[in-house]
Structure 1
Amino acid sequence: MTKVKWDHIVHYVNDIEEPIDLFKEKNLIAFRGGSHKQWGTYNSLSYFDLTYIEFLGIENRDLVKHVKEPNRVVKDAIQYLPEHEALSRVALRTDNIEEIAARLRDTGLTLSPIMAGKRLDSKGELIEWKMMTIDGSFQGLPYPFVIQWKGTDSERLKSLQSSGVIQDHPAGKTIIHQAIFTVSDPLAVAEHWKEIFHLNSINFSDTVATLSIGEQSFLFKKGSFNQLTEIILLTESPQLQNKSLTIGEGTYTFKSIE
């Protein structure tokens, strides 16, 4: 059975250069990614092994407004920006997007077609992938979207390291550990995501529920936002440990690698 992995986080921002500067102040590397010419968006990125943060902005608002493909990630940019520079959806990575699509349709979810994605990176190199988004939400929380990159994980890791996209952060070893979702009913949301994405439960209660996704986890806690609100990173940097960085409405919290 095809498993999913945590690929990246989408954080909508008005100025994609700002996160680069803020991360640099923390001795973390973020850089200009590139433009999605067919969708009107562009991004800056920060990699922590193969899991990364995508700071997504609107480069061409008119194009975004008139995108014909049912790409919720792009369409939501108009709904969020400029008022809400918020953490949005997580992306789940697979090596068999067709199988995942069939499995999700069997649960009754409405999916976009599998779309071809591409962008030019800052060096003019073409980056390609396939993706699909899930319509609607569960109790107000938007669903993740699913992505399949060209090449295997090991091939991509080697390529991204050799090109300098993935490199050691000056702050020292730092990894993305956990996504925190604030939702009205943590148990119900966690049970639903566990079922449809075949994730494993760590602990469930009325106020907090946690699912594992590989060595990482998704934590759902009780609140009124029904949104991804915080990312937990583990770091060996004494200067970052027990500190937080807020960008717009999203918080990045750094804890010690034990």
Structure 2
Amino acid sequence: MYLDHIVHLVTKKPTEVVEEWKGNGFHAVIGGQHTRWGTYNALLYTKTSYIEWLALENEEIALNANHPLINLLLHDLKTKPGFGTVCIRTENIESLFNQLERKGIETSGVLHAERKTTSGLVRKWKMLFVREEISNDLPTPFFIEWQEDDEERYQLLQKDGTIVDSNLELTISTCEFHVRNPREVMDKWKNYFEIKEQDNQTLLLANTNLVFKKLETGEQERLACIYVNGHGKQEPIYYEQGTYCFCE
């Protein structure tokens, strides 16, 4: 399984996000609108995954969307912005749905989604969520299957300028989560998704390490920091309550 993207829930408009990250030397772009959800986004692609800065565009639509990711956004932005959750890419979401159901894990069922880009193109995908209450506990990753395979999708993204050469030099090497009981969360995710354990604080996706560290009591369990390789070593960027660390 691959990390597909990180969802960073933000208060700023996509135009502001793009301008600020371009100022930091990154090729970020405006993604587009999720018209049925009342949200819009900005994106930063890497070689095998990307960062999505997701913002609220129309609160009334969002409140009526009844969508797990939008419910998480509404919950978290009541207090502060920050990393919301991570998305894992699969090539057969129907098979994954059946696998989870056989284990007795209740899900959203396979959801169909789309986003209208600034150029008017409509991108489509399927999503799958583990059904759980939105809270301060760490959200379970959700899953995505894109309409195109990875090679075709990246070719289209390069063609429309979403991805340039500098994006392909970047990788998200590590996602660091802060949770009250790292062992419990790791065992849960291993059971749900059948991913390998490297050591007592690390699970392995094909393209990214998932590291779990102890959280002080009373704080929100969330992704706290991501490590990005390929932009050169520099001081971390603390952005909308999320920490971005950089390595060679």
Instruction: Give me the TM-score of the superposition, normalised by structure 1.
Output: 0.88
The 5 A counterparts of 1:181-192 are 181-192=177-188
Aligned CA RMSD, in angstroms, stands at: 1.9
1:194 to 190, 197, 203: 190
Change (3 A) 1:253 1:84: same
Q: Is the 8 A contact 1:34 1:121 kept in 2?
A: yes
Higher strand content, 1 or 2 = 1
Secondary structure of 2:162's counterpart equals: coil
Q: Which moved more, 1:181-190 or 1:79-88?
A: 79-88
Q: Where in structure 1 are there 5+ consecutive unaligned residues?
A: none
Is 2:79 the partner of 1:83?
A: yes
Q: Is the 8 A contact 1:27 1:169 kept in 2?
A: no
2:226 to 227, 231, 243: 231
Secondary structure of 2:236's counterpart equals: strand
- Aligned twin of 1:45: 43
Is 2:128 the partner of 1:132?
A: yes
- Aligned twin of 1:152: 149
CA distance in 2, matches of 1:203, 1:243: 28
Identity of aligned residues (%): 30
The 5 A counterparts of 1:8-27 are 8-15=5-12, 16-27=14-25
The 5 A counterparts of 1:90-169 are 90-136=86-132, 140-169=137-166
Q: Which moved more, 1:40-49 or 1:183-192?
A: 183-192
CA distance in 1, matches of 2:204, 2:190: 9
Amino acid at match of 1:229: A
CA distance in 1, matches of 2:24, 2:64: 38
Give the CA deviation at 1:139: 9.3
Give the CA deviation at 1:12: 0.6
Change (3 A) 1:139 1:23: closer
CA distance in 2, matches of 1:109, 1:82: 29
- Aligned twin of 1:216: 208
